[in-house]
């Protein structure tokens, strides 16, 4: 019985920790712009490709 109570207490502490962490990330703006970082990677590839073409032409 004491093991079950211990496990419930640990589960509650962990869940509260995760909820507080999520609310902190939400309030600090971590989820404001989810699309730009993914598009920035694609733009880097395009820019690197144009740089290579410019070097090959010279």
Q: How far apart are CA 24 and CA 18, in angstroms?
A: 10
Q: How far apart are CA 14 and CA 48, in angstroms?
A: 44
Q: Domain locations in the chain?
A: 2-57
pTM given for the model:
0.55
> Would you state the torsion angle of the CA atoms of residues 32, 38, 40, 42, taken in this order, to the nearest 10 degrees?
-160
- 13-54: pLDDT as tens digits: 999 999 999 999 999 988 787 777 777 777 765 656 555 555
């Amino acid at each position: 019985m004491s093991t079950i109570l211990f496990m419930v207490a640990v589960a509650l502490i962990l869940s509260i920790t995760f909820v507080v962490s999520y609310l902190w990330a939400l309030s600090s703006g971590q989820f404001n712009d989810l699309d730009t970082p993914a598009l920035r990677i694609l733009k880097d590839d395009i820019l690197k490709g144009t740089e290579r073409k410019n070097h090959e032409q010279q």
